[in-house]
Structure 1
Amino acid sequence: MLNIVTQKTEASKIGSSQSKSYPILPLLLIVGFVMTGMGVVSPVISLYGATFGVSTTLIGLLTSIFGIARLFVEFPAGTLSERWGRRPLLCLGPCILAISSFAAAQAGSFFSLLIWRAAQGVGSGLYMTGAMTSIADVSTPATRGRMMALYQGALLIGSSFGPMLGGFSAHLWGYTAPFWVFGVVASISAIIAISLFAETLHKHQASPGKHNRHRLSLDDLTVLFRSRDFLLVTFISFGTFFTRTAASWNLIPLVGNERFGMGTDGIGLSLTIMAIGNLFSLPVSGYVVDHYGRRAAIIPASFTVAFSLAMVAWAPSVALFLTAMALFGFSTGVGGPAAAAYVADVAPSGKYGPALGLFRTISDLGFVIGPLLVGSVVDTTNLGYTGGLLVNVVLVLISVICFAVWAKEPEQK
């Protein structure tokens, strides 16, 4: 897979069909550093919020406000990227992340901290939309799976390394230290984006995109919402993001603690095993997506996600619980790049920005809704954590069955 770090892509076919080399390494570095910063603050967000003496509900809002802010930014960012390019998003996003992180470290009140967390969500939405759209720009249908897998790999490496760095820095210097670290690594990302990242927008393959970039966002929405294939794969991603917050971040640690008496070290080990499974899946994902098609990766991976969550829900032993975590990590790693590649394939010519922006917006709805819905199931029924996980299983199964029945393999453009 490393031979596509400098990827040959088709240049815009406006009078030329020659290919050019595009260095993807700066983009991967931007993603890796930003995701490290996001991971750095994850172990201490709630602990830092608690120092202001607020309720548990308000502390939870520190996580929700990040996703809500990102949700409202991503589609407009994708649309604007068709006019101004991807580079402004990849420069501005990390700059906002750096400023808001430094400010959050010095927050004088909980309300101030909440505002700066929302600003971090805005920065995250800008940079992520720019990054995914750039990958779509510089890949072709024949290489898109492997390119998306590289992107996912950079994301995972950063998000896996970050929590360890955050916990260590907080232990040494207090709860505000991870926010200072986030500010530093986000600043590094901004420097890389400003000095090394080259614009990718002109590499679109279809000339109509040149004119379509200036159409209104409402037109973009209409085109995308009329695409059954786009909506079906977005439903898959909605389920993935729902699972990330509802199962991975909320219920799985609670199951480990309640059923097996795991402390923070045991829960951390289980999440690490999941991350390792995710990383090992990426070469497999890229190969399957590019050689056998997007559906060949999305459908089996989604069914396996549902199966592994059911294993977690009913696991009678630690060994089976950890096995389910590894399988869960592997299957989500296969499905994620495949879904992103599918969206780029079905996007109208010159519409990568709006398509991927809307894709991430709807996905982030799952990110926000997930913990609220399964939390309500746990709190209002006698089904417990197992019931919450099974609600997640049902959602994933519905999404993949709908996709398997009605979504078609994208045509090679």
Structure 2
Amino acid sequence: MLAAAFKGLKARPGVFYLCTTIFLTSVGMGALAPILPLFTESEFLVNRTQVGIAVGLFGISRIFTSLPAGYLTQRYGRRVVLQVGSIISVIGAVMVAFSFSYTWLICWRFISGLGWSVYLTGSSVYLRDVASVDNRARFLSLLEMSILAGQSLGPLLGGYLGDRWGYRIPLHISAVFVALSFLVLQFLVPESRSRISVTSEPHGNETRKESSEAGGDTRERQGLLRLLLSPAFIFVGMFTLMIVANRQGGRFSVLPLYGESKGFTASQLGSFISVTHIPQFFTTMLAGFLSDKFGRKSTIIPAVTLITIGLMLFIFTDNVHKLILSGVLLGLGEGLAGPPSLAFFADIAPPGLEGVTMGLYRTFGGVGSAIGALLLGGVADLAGFVASLVVDAALLICAAIGVMVFVKETLNKEKA
């Protein structure tokens, strides 16, 4: 599996450099993971719900940008969208590092998230361009693997710097890595979509062209309507929503605060978040292979089972060993959940609406960030950390049941 992934990267150098940019940005974002909740709470003296908002706004921005970004990839090309997203990310990360008030922080976190959302949508479409049906899940899993590799190193770096020099230093380091990512993109990542020539046509063909375009618009509208009403779109979208809600609201917001209340340090919490990403990296790669081999639904039940056990174990965690074990289980589970969901959406994309479909996938993630930040943070404020994690697990289980019961397998249909 790993050899096949590297072979694919070697054959398509643009994919390698794209993954490098995602890795660098993820290191920067990961450096904030163990620090941002603690920084926000100590610097601005806010409650847990407000901490959840500061963490979750980064992902909530997907609601507003993912679909437009998907449309723009179709109209102007993948590289232009990637450049715009990267520039916004750099500006947002720099301004977050100089936060002097809670309002300033959440505003620029939101803007930073806008850029990252645009970038990930463009990246998803880019990877779909270079993949075939038979290796689609594996190629799309490269995106998640690049994020995970960066987020495995970032929290360790952020936690160490936060303990040694204060919570603000990791914010500046984050901005540096995001800026490095932009430089790699600017000079090394080519366009993935073939340019369509726009030479003028003879006047005799104009009527035929206009008629063809009108028919194409009608087919696209019908395709979009069928997509929005399909069980795969609805239930896989809800499952994606809950995976992101668990990550943004649970792992990145509630769990660090809960861990701090248990007496764990910033470095220990950084190690916890990093260790979730290490096994997640390998199960993401495994899930891409299994999804291409046995179907998109093959890893969903194991994924949710592992995440649920990891959340319940965290409730009873009272030492570093249990903390790390909880992180390993959470990482194993989320790694199995990611590629199948992304491949589902790539499979059901109507012709000509690939960018819009991938944008809608990212939009579900944005809604998940909002739910994770507001719902799980709110439950933690009102009923405590334990109740928040129980709600998280229950909603995730319900979303998985919806996919298994109501969604037809898409891989066999395409191969047929």
TM-score range, shorter chain: 0.7 to 0.9
- The question of whether the paired residues in 2 share the 8 Å contact of 1:133 and 1:353 is answered with yes
Q: 1:338 aligns with which of 329, 337, 340?
A: 340
Aligned counterpart, 1:262: 264
Q: May I ask how many residue pairs the two structures share in their alignment?
A: 395
In structure 2, do the counterparts of structure 1 residues 300 and 54 end up closer, same or farther at CA, with 3 Å as the change threshold? Answer: closer
**Aligned residue in 2 for 1:156:** 148
Higher-RCO chain (CA-CA 8 Å, sequence separation at least 6) = 2
Tell whether the 8 Å contact from 2:70 to 2:355 is kept in structure 1 after alignment.
yes
Cα distance in 1 between the residues matched to 2:337 and 2:171: 31
Corresponding position of 2:241: 238
Map 1:1-400 → 2, pairs under 5 A: 1-5=2-6, 7=8, 23-46=14-37, 49=40, 53=44, 55-56=46-47, 60-107=52-99, 109-170=101-162, 175-202=167-194, 222-256=225-259, 261-313=263-315, 322-381=324-383, 384-400=384-400
Choose 228-237 or 246-255, whichever is displaced more: 246-255
Q: Contact 2:82–2:118 at 8 Å: present in 1 too?
A: yes
Change (3 A) 1:370 1:146: same
- Do 1:7 and 1:138's aligned partners in 2 also have CA atoms closer than 8 Å? no
- CA shift, 1:25, in A, is 0.2
Match of 2:264, SS state, is: coil
Residue type at the aligned position of 1:94: S
Q: Aligned with 1:294: secondary structure?
A: coil
Distance 2:34 2:271 in 1: 14
- Aligned-residue identity in percent: 28
| C-alpha distance in structure 1 between counterparts of 2:167 and 2:314, whole Å | 32
| 1:98–1:183 contact (8 Å) kept in structure 2 | yes
**Residue type at the aligned position of 1:407:** V
Q: Which is further off, 107-116 or 93-102?
A: 107-116
Partner SS state of residue 8, structure 2: strand
Contact 2:69/2:118, CA 8 A, preserved across alignment? yes
The 3-state SS of whatever aligns with 1:143 is: helix
Structure with greater helix percent: 2
Partners of 1:136 and 1:341 within 8 A in 2: no
Q: Are 2:404 and 1:404 aligned?
A: yes
TM-score, with structure 1 as normaliser? 0.83
User: Contact 1:97 / 1:186 at 8 angstroms: preserved in 2?
Assistant: yes
The 1:324–1:140 alpha-carbon spacing in structure 2 relative to 1, beyond 3 Å, is: same
Distance in 2, matches of 1:43 and 1:325, equals 13
CA contact 1:6–1:25 (8 Å) conserved in 2:
no
Change (3 A) 1:65 1:245: closer
TM-score (norm 2): 0.83
Unaligned runs of 5+ in 2: 197-211
- Runs of 5+ consecutive residues of structure 1 not aligned to the other structure: 9-19, 205-209
**Could you give the per-residue CA deviations for residues 358-403 of structure 1, whole angstroms, max 9, x where no partner exists?**
111112211121232233334434xx43322221121111111111
Residue 355 (structure 1) shift: 1.0
Task: State the Cα distance separating 1:229 from its structure 2 match.
Answer: 0.9
Instruction: Tell me if the contact between 1:96 and 1:119 (Cα under 8 Å) persists in the aligned partners.
Output: yes
> Are residues 159 and 75 of structure 1, via their aligned partners in 2, closer, same or farther at CA, if it must alter by over 3 Å?
same
The change in CA–CA distance for 1:110 and 1:315 in structure 2 (over 3 A counts) is closer
